[in-house]
């Protein structure tokens, strides 16, 4: 995705991080994670977002389609200023290092700047072409990439049948540590095997190869005080259509929203204080019969130092 020139960067990120992404992660029966990347190669589009889903069939149900049909006025206004190309992909094959840990299970420090290489292929019009491409990934390419320092995981996807009318294509998504051997001898060897040369000579045409750096991992709870703090008050105040999420930077950045536990319990929270995502965090658990504003004095007097999330205690 690429924000158009008239859309301020902080407005784009605040909307995506505090509304668009968390709205989807609040549907754990559909979305298992959401990740945001920024281009490392200087090419456009500059930004990429990926979401793993539990089943592609969910994306053809009202649970998902209503998210787009019932957009907030802010989302409709903002998305109209972003050039978006979206695809649904079916997972075909995956291989991973013993050191691989799902990104949504890493700390922010561990996840920051992980590298993603995305390579799109278009099958040529020859017999058995899809089988040849998949077998090349399984029998040659992924094994060679596994020798590259910093390699963590490789996945190959085929364009989903949900993309009606679109020609078949494949995408390989390859995860690496921040420090890696891309461009080194092992990587060059992986891209120049006899079978790789045969694949590109006979069976597939490369559409694109992109490198991205991970910069944000979604959760179900909105938490981006940093970009919120950069918005003018008139652009910062937002209330979701269901009334359960509220943001403002008037006079200081505050997010009020909720998370839902695995057993269906809704826990409201309020986040304020230092907008730096790396600032020390002091969490408060609210007692019964009190409001989310009970720690306002601490949050105000300590805002230069700490982030202050306050949530209600677990109760029915």
Q: Read off the pLDDT of residues 63-103 as tens digits, 9 standing for 90 and up.
A: 999 998 889 999 999 999 999 999 999 999 999 999 999 99
Q: What are phi and psi of 73, to 5 degrees?
A: -60, -35
Its pTM stands at 0.92
**CA distances (Å), origin 185, targets 12, 49, 95, 148, 180:** 39, 30, 21, 8, 12
Per-residue pLDDT reduced to its tens digit, 203-221: 999 999 999 999 999 999 9
Q: Is the pLDDT of residue 303 over 70?
A: no
Q: Please enumerate in sequence order all residues whose Cβ is within 8 A of that of 32, keeping only pairs 6 or more positions apart, or say none.
A: 52, 53, 54, 104
Rounded CA separation 33/52 (Å): 6
**pLDDT level of residue 316 (50, 70, 90 thresholds):** very low
Q: Tell me: pLDDT of 307 over 60.
A: yes
Q: What is the pLDDT of residue 165?
A: 87
With cut-offs at 50, 70 and 90, classify the pLDDT of residue 295: low
- Residue 281 has a pLDDT of 87
Average predicted confidence (pLDDT) for the chain? 93
């Amino acid at each position: 995705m690429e924000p158009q020139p008239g859309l301020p960067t902080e407005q784009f990120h605040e909307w995506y991080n505090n509304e668009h992404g968390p709205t989807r992660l609040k549907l754990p029966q559909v979305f298992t994670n959401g990740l945001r990347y920024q281009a490392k190669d200087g090419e456009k589009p500059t930004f990429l977002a990926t979401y793993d889903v539990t089943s592609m069939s969910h994306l053809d149900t009202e649970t998902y389609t209503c998210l787009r049909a019932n957009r907030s006025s802010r989302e409709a206004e903002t998305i109209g200023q972003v050039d978006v190309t979206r695809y649904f992909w079916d997972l075909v094959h995956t291989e991973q290092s013993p050191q691989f840990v799902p990104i949504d299970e890493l700390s922010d420090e561990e996840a920051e700047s992980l590298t993603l290489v995305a390579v799109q292929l278009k099958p040529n019009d020859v017999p058995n072409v899809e089988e040849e491409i998949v077998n090349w990934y399984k029998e040659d390419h992924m094994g060679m990439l596994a020798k590259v320092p910093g390699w963590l995981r490789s996945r190959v996807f085929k364009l989903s049948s949900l993309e009606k009318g679109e020609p078949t294509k494949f995408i390989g998504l390859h995860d690496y540590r921040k420090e890696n051997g891309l461009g080194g001898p092992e990587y060059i060897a992986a891209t120049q095997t006899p079978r790789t040369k045969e694949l590109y000579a006979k069976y597939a045409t490369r559409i694109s190869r992109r490198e991205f750096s991970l910069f944000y991992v979604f959760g179900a709870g909105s938490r981006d005080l940093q970009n919120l703090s950069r918005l003018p008050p008139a652009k910062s105040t937002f209330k979701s259509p269901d009334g359960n999420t509220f943001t403002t930077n008037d006079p200081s950045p505050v997010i009020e929203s909720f998370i839902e536990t695995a057993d269906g319990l809704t826990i409201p929270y309020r986040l304020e204080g230092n907008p730096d995502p790396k600032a020390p965090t002091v969490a408060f658990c609210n007692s019964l019969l009190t409001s989310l504003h009970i720690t306002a004095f601490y949050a105000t007097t300590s805002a230069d130092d700490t982030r202050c999330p306050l949530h209600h205690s677990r109760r029915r």
